[in-house]
Each structure stands twice: as C-alpha cells, then as structure tokens.
Structure 1
C-alpha cells in the first residue's frame, strides 16, 4: 500500500489546490457568467491549455521519470546531465511552439468555432498572451518529475496551488478596478502568464536547494534524450488524441448549440467540478504509482506486487461515493459555488445539464489515469495510443448522435461512455503483462462495496427530497449571521447535510467492514496516530 500512502500525501495538496481552483472558478463565474465574454475566454484559453495539458500534464514526466530513474542507478551518476540536456532541448522546442502558435492561431480559430468577427478578434488577442504559459508549465513538469523520482512529492504538488493563488489575487486586484468585462479578461490573461513564471521559479529554486540541479547541455545526441523522446512520441500522439477529443467536444458545442445557451463555458465549469475528485484521487494515485511500478518492474517483482490492485481499489473506494454525491447534489453544488454576479439561474441550468452526465464517469476517469501510468511504467506508450484512437472515434460518433437531443448533456454523456470503453480496453491489455492484475479480487471488492454505496445514495437522496426545508434553515442561520447570499445559502444546506450524513454513514460502514482503504486514510489523521501510540 506504499503507493496508496504516497497518494494520500499528494491528495492533501491536491485537495487544497482544487479548493482554491473552485474559488478561482467562483470569481470567474461571477465576473463572466456563461455569456459571450465567458465563451471567448474559454476558447482563447483552450488551445494554450490543450498544449499545456499535452506536454505538461503527464506525458513529459511519464516519459522522463523511467529514464531519469535509470540514470540514477547508473554508476556514473549522470542524472543531472540527463535533466540538463532535456531542459535545454525542451526550452528550444517550446520557444518554437509558442511562436508558431501565436502566428497560426488566427488561421486555426475559424476551423474550431463559429464566431463573429468581433468575438474572434477578442479570442485571438487573449490567446496570444497566454501561449507563453505552455513553456513555463512544460519546464515545470520536468522539474516536478525530478523531484518525484527522488520521492519528493510535496513540492511538485504545491505547484498548482501557487498558480491558483496567483489567479485569485489577480481577480481580487482586477475586481477593484471597475473595468468592463473585456478589459478584465485581458488582464486575467496576463495573470495566467505571471502564475506560470512564478510556478517555474519556485520549482527551480527547490531543485537547486536539494542538490539535483540540472547541468545545461547542448548534447542533443545524448542516449537518454533519444530514449525519452522515443517514449514520448506515441505518448504525445495518445495525449494529442485526448486533447483532440476535447477539441471535438468544444467544436461540436460551438457549431450545434446556440451561443446564447453558453454551452462552451457550461461544459468547462461542469468539467472543473468533476476534476476535484478525479484530480485528488486519480492524479495522485497515478503520480505515485508510476515510480513505484517502475521500481517493481526493474526489480522483477511485478508478478507478486499488490501495488496495482490496491491502487485500483482505493480509487473506487473514493470515486464512487464522489460520483453519487455529485450526481444527486449537483444543482445545489453549482449554485453554492458559482451563483452570483453574472451567473444566473440559466447559467446553473445549462451547467447542470452537463454535470449530471460527467459525474457518471468520475470512477473511470480516475482509473484511466492509473491504468495509463501503468503502461508507462513498462515503457509501453504505444498500446494506450491505439486504445485512444478507438475511444476518439467512438466519442465523436456519440457526440453527433446525442448533441441534438441532449445538447451539452449529450457531449458529457459521450465523454463518460467512451471513457468507460477506454478503461475496459486498458485493463484488458495490462492483463497480458506480468503485472499482478487479478480480476477476481477487484470484482469481489466491488460486490462487497455495493451495500455501502447504496446506503450512501439513499441517504443523500433523502436529503435531496427535503432540500427546500434544509435550505430554508440554512437561510435562517445565514440571516442570523448577517450573510446576504440567500441563493447560495439555500444550496449550502443540502450540500453540507448530505456530505456529513452520507459521508459519515459510508465511513462507518467501511469501519465496520474493516476495510484496509479506510485504515490508510486514518493513518494520516494526526489525532488517530497519537491515540495509537
């Protein structure tokens, strides 16, 4: 369970980052709602963010970590030179990507969305500022990979917290200026760039402090660099397919759903909500399991290790309750976090249309991250690509079939269903390797957990049935405390009661069943550790 324990440490920082991310989204919702400026901002941020996700969110570090790990074991101890040549080469490549992106984006934009000339001009202006973020985020990912390989997970996990704090401070400063929404969006774009620079600077200082500082090198024929990019090539293709999936979602929403419905920002805000559980659980587990599996495979212990199975069970233990809660309490959660300012009842309604179907896929979104990392531990980046091609075609076809009847809800449902197929295919492929992927223990765990999940769902559903009464009491309490946002308070009551009662019952059942997954969580609660001593 060492992977699971490392993921708990990561999850603390990830939870904090996601909470700050929700606060950031709250500011954005109040500033822009789901109107024309919000749509322009989302489309402008889409391509730079897609390239950032393509390079920084996993692909670079997943290809870099196994090779860097091998260099540590090398008698010559040349890991600093390996890191240096990668950073030097990557800096040059990223500079070219940023320049090309700034020049070509005005040509690409009409192919992606259907917008007026004025809206397209705003999108181009914003995106050209934010393209620089690709470089800082990608270089930060390599620095994080260095720290993770040395089993220092905390500082890389703090990096997104820094970015969100810069965002929030930017919103607070912009909010005091009394500018119009378009000017606010312009200065927010510069906030993205500033946050990326600060992220990189802090990570670089930490790497130097720990003594792992890279040695700059222009030895671009270095074997390690060739190995990393041979691993990256199919991984980049796979990640490109995933990003193409998201681009297809946005393009279909832009062309087939009237702009006044705000489908593009609605999809984004709904997706941000499901990123809380998938990020906390899936990303943390996949980040922790990659170095662990790389070591196990290197030492020839993959067939006997229980790391993989325990990671999957732990992910399901946490993500299924999250999916149940988000599905049943979705409308209240949306109002609690986003309602106010430019965000009105219509914005909540269109976002809920997407969220209800996204929430169904939360468990498989997290499992896919773990499964993909397991392939990368084997330095197999080709199989996930082949599977992703199948998923892409399936998602695109279902998008076209469902968007006419369910609008943005159809796009979200397509994403969840295609991700389920992706999960099944990834797991089936891993069973052909020597990794211990025994299916029977996982199925036994699923059957054992069904009563607990049903009890959780019934409890939350009961709270939803009495949401009006609970919300009224919350408003009364808010009035007593001189809080004025009645709509947010009306939503807060059912959310708090549902989480406390449903979560409490679920954890009580887990304690009664003496689940190891609960013991791992309790191990990291300070007062529990003191009591055990």
Structure 2
C-alpha cells in the first residue's frame, strides 16, 4: 500500500470531492425534474458540450504541464510565470470567444447534426451564452495547479461547490421564470464563482495576480509547445463524448439528453475517485520524474494500480447491478419519466464498463507528463478517437445510445492499457508481483457482491426505491467486505486497521 500519509490524503480528497459532488447531484436531479429529456434539455446539453465540456481538456492539459513546473520552481519566481501564463491565456481565449460568438450559427449545425428549426436556434443561443466560460477555464486550472503543487488539496477538492450551489439556487428560485436560457447564464456565473473561490485560496498562499502582457520568454514558448500535445491527449474523452453527442442528435428526441444524464452520473463517480487519487499522486510523480528516481516512480505506479483495481472492479459490478434503481432515485421525478430512466440506465451501465480503463489512462498519461514526454499520450489519444468513431458507427445501428457509451468505454480502456504498457517500459521496473491473484480475488468478491445485490433487489422488487437502492448498496458493501476478508485482500485488512486505529485514538482522547 502507499504511505499512510498519502493514503489518508487521498481519502480526505475523495471525501471532500464527494461532498462537493453531492451538490452536483442535487443540480442534476433538479435539471432532470425541470426539463426532463425533451427539446430544451437536448439543446442545453449540446450547447454545454460544445462550449464548455470540449474545452475542459484545456484544464487537464494545463495542470499536467503546470504542476511539474511549479513543483520544480517553488523556491523561484513561479508567481511571475503563472501571471504571464494567465495573461497569455486571456488574450488567446478572448479571441476564441469573439470568433465563437460570431461563428456559432456556422459550427453548431455541424456538431448538433440532427437538430433543426427551433431546437437548433435554441442551441445556438445557448452556445453564445456559455462561450465566455472559455475565458475562465484556463485561469481556474492554473490556480488549481498552483494549489495542488503546494499540496493544498482541500480547496481544490471543493472547487465545484460554488458552481453547483449557484446553479441549484437558480433552479429552485428562478428557473420557472427564466427557463433554459437562465440555466445557461447560471452555468456561466457558476464558473465565475469557482474562479473567485480558488483566487481566495491562492491569495492565502501568497499568490498575487498581475497583468503581464510583455515578457514572452523561452519558458513561456516551451510551455505552449508542450500544452498542445497534452491538450489533444487529455481531450480524447471530451472529443469522444462530443462525437457521441453528434451521432445521438440524429436519433429520436430525448436520446441525446438521456446519454448526457448517463454521462453526467458516470463522470461524477469516475472523476471523484480517479482524480482524487491522481491529484495527490501527480505532484509526487513529477518530483520523482524530475529527480530521475525511477524506482520510486515505478513503486508509486504499482501501488496506484493496485488501489484502482481494488476500487473500480467492484464499482463496475455494483453499478451494473443497480443502474436502473440508481437512475430512478437520482432523476425520476417531474418530466423525467420511466422511459427516460430506461434510456439513461442502459447508457450508464455501458459507460461504467470503462471506469477502470479511464483510471489506467489517467495514471499512464500522468507518468509520461512527469517524465516530460507529451508525444506518446498525444499519439495514442488520436488512435483512441479513431477507434471510438469506428465503434460508434458500428454499434449505434443496433444498440442505440448504449452502443455509443460502449464504444467510448472500449476506446478509453484500450488507450489506458497501451499507455500503461509503454509507461512500464519507460520506467523500467514497476513491481506488479501478485497483481493477477489480487485481481482474481477482487473479481470473485465483486461477482458474489453483485449476485447478492441482484437477489436483494428482486426480493424487494415492489418496495420503495428509497429502500431498495440504499439497502442494496449496504448489502453489496457488506458482502464485498466479508468475502474480501475471507480471501485475504490486502486493502480490506489495511482499511480495517485504519478504522480500528482511529477508534482507539478517539477512545484514548475521551
């Protein structure tokens, strides 16, 4: 297992992220209740993906390049570097936003290929409302990089809280008056709230923003050269989702919204766990990479993989067991009816199949970035997009939106496996002894857990969803724990020791 301090930090980050994401869950519940899977929600989600989701890969690229720079320059003038980067980003994104506002009627029909008439016009308007978010995204992620490089994980774990609170407040108080247009404005204000939240945290660390239009140094030039391949590599999932949306827009009304609701639920789960681990480990990877400590880096990668297999295999089995009940509990109210539940639950199940591959992709890419190799993830991300498009076209004909979700999962998983294989070669030694047996034990425990949960749901089929899902989840965790303990899964024993140790400390204090 990783060092206790690292594990405890990861657990803290995950807990705080879950707390923040809880408000995101409330946001999605209210959006689903207010707008369902109709024309307005189709238009909003299509616009959000075109103007925001696609550009979130910029944020991932920024953190991947910036954190190693800040880690190695904490004693130097990292503040001047960050200020010059913010200034350049504002100038670049300002031009992109202006061009996007003018050209929205041109590029929107190419992405929302099945939209026409009122639905297309609404989507174009929402794109124009949301495009200014692009000004904020780079600054938000530069500040996240500064804070994570200094291991200030609490504030970065809560970063989505202002965004979600603002949108929930709008939905509860103003949505009936201003409708879907107002939701677009609230989404923009939510991003501004994130920026102010992070800015306060960075200021407490001594960071001060200055507009520095001059001073285009070699370091800045090298930074932007490095960002481009990372941008392409980290944007592979966003591009895959955008391709899925374009194809889903050619299906019946509501299919695109259902795919989006499924993707929202999946990414909330996946990013909470995966990015919680990655955020803590990447600064350490960067430090080991800068010092050329390959043995430490290899050990860190091995431990990360063990933790991810332990976490995500049961998640896959668990979500596949309760996907319909989960979607029903989260979304089924108001305009979100049984048909919407069935569509969304199917796509969620197929998206979840890729969560382990997503974690492999994240760790594999971070190893290369820590070693200043941006070319390898760039190449394989391009191949992943091609694989996704081909699979989309093959599977959508007989699986609908389920095929689009499955195609994305397969493409991400293949990309993750290839990156890990190549990362192992680059590092030299990644101690994976016993991983196969450990994985087999986890599969057995997860399978038994899933069978128990399915039987429980069948037995309580006519009970309230507020009983079925929590009861099924509790039973699943209990079964996984018991069988894992019987099979001697290392992480189970470690967690038990931590819990017992914490209880003993509390009793001693009492």
Using structure 2 for the length normalisation, give the TM-score: 0.93
Secondary structure of 1:258 counterpart:
coil
1:384-412 deviation per Cα after TM superposition (whole angstroms, max 9, x unaligned)? 11111221111111111111111101111
- 1:88 CA drift (Å): 1.3
C-alpha distance 527-187 of structure 1, shift in aligned 2 (>3 A): farther
Distance 1:236 1:158 in 2: 24
Match of 1:267 among 259, 268, 274: 259
Match of 2:374 among 362, 366, 381: 381
1:274-295 deviation per Cα after TM superposition (whole angstroms, max 9, x unaligned)? 2233112111111112101111
How many aligned positions are there?
502
Distance 1:524 1:17 in 2: 24
Does 2:282 align with 1:285?
A: no
- 1:223 CA drift (Å): 3.0
Match of 1:50 among 18, 38, 53: 53
**What's the C-alpha RMSD, in Å, of the aligned pairs?**
2.1
- 1:449 CA drift (Å): 2.0
Match of 1:462 among 455, 462, 468: 455
Does structure 1 conserve the Cα–Cα contact (< 8 Å) formed by 2:441 and 2:484? no
- 1:438 CA drift (Å): 3.3
Secondary structure of 1:329 counterpart:
helix
- 1:236 CA drift (Å): 1.3
Task: Give the corresponding residue for 2:158.
Answer: 158
C-alpha distance 131-458 of structure 1, shift in aligned 2 (>3 A): same
- 1:299 CA drift (Å): 2.5
- 1:207 CA drift (Å): 1.1
Secondary structure of 1:356 counterpart:
helix
Task: Give the corresponding residue for 1:104.
Answer: 103
C-alpha distance 125-55 of structure 1, shift in aligned 2 (>3 A): same
Does structure 1 conserve the Cα–Cα contact (< 8 Å) formed by 2:481 and 2:492? no
C-alpha distance 527-39 of structure 1, shift in aligned 2 (>3 A): same
Does structure 2 conserve the Cα–Cα contact (< 8 Å) formed by 1:358 and 1:415? yes
Does structure 1 conserve the Cα–Cα contact (< 8 Å) formed by 2:58 and 2:235? no
Does 2:208 align with 1:247?
A: no
The 5 A counterparts of 1:492-503 are 492-503=466-477
Distance 1:523 1:230 in 2: 45
Distance 1:150 1:109 in 2: 40
Task: Give the corresponding residue for 2:92.
Answer: 93
The 5 A counterparts of 1:338-417 are 338-417=331-410
C-alpha distance 91-527 of structure 1, shift in aligned 2 (>3 A): farther
Distance 1:460 1:4 in 2: 29
- 1:268 CA drift (Å): 0.9
Distance 1:277 1:386 in 2: 27
Task: Give the corresponding residue for 1:185.
Answer: 180
Distance 1:133 1:518 in 2: 45
Does structure 2 conserve the Cα–Cα contact (< 8 Å) formed by 1:266 and 1:350? yes
Does 2:426 align with 1:433?
A: yes
C-alpha distance 323-53 of structure 1, shift in aligned 2 (>3 A): same
Of 434-443 and 100-109, more deviation after overlay is shown by 434-443
- 1:352 CA drift (Å): 1.9
Distance 1:455 1:448 in 2: 11
Task: Give the corresponding residue for 2:213.
Answer: 218
Distance 1:198 1:454 in 2: 43
Distance 1:395 1:458 in 2: 31
- 1:521 CA drift (Å): 8.2
Task: Give the corresponding residue for 1:258.
Answer: 252
- 1:129 CA drift (Å): 1.1
1:479-520 deviation per Cα after TM superposition (whole angstroms, max 9, x unaligned)? xxxxxxxxxxx2222211111111022223444526246635
Does structure 1 conserve the Cα–Cα contact (< 8 Å) formed by 2:86 and 2:138? no
Does 2:67 align with 1:65?
A: yes
Secondary structure of 2:294 counterpart:
coil
C-alpha distance 458-240 of structure 1, shift in aligned 2 (>3 A): closer
Task: Give the corresponding residue for 1:530.
Answer: 506
C-alpha distance 411-529 of structure 1, shift in aligned 2 (>3 A): farther
C-alpha distance 171-268 of structure 1, shift in aligned 2 (>3 A): same
1:208-250 deviation per Cα after TM superposition (whole angstroms, max 9, x unaligned)? 1221334542344223322321221111122344332222111
Using structure 1 for the length normalisation, give the TM-score: 0.89
Task: Give the corresponding residue for 2:141.
Answer: 141
Distance 2:420 2:469 in 1: 34
Task: Give the corresponding residue for 1:486.
Answer: none
C-alpha distance 532-401 of structure 1, shift in aligned 2 (>3 A): farther
Please list every run of 5 or more consecutive structure 1 residues that lacks an aligned counterpart in the other structure: 472-489
Deviation above 3 Å: which 4+ runs of structure 1? 2-5, 239-242, 438-441, 508-512, 520-529
Does 2:231 align with 1:236?
A: yes
Does 2:15 align with 1:12?
A: yes
Does structure 2 conserve the Cα–Cα contact (< 8 Å) formed by 1:238 and 1:384? yes
- 1:154 CA drift (Å): 0.9
Match of 2:415 among 397, 415, 422: 422
Distance 2:73 2:429 in 1: 26
- 1:451 CA drift (Å): 2.6
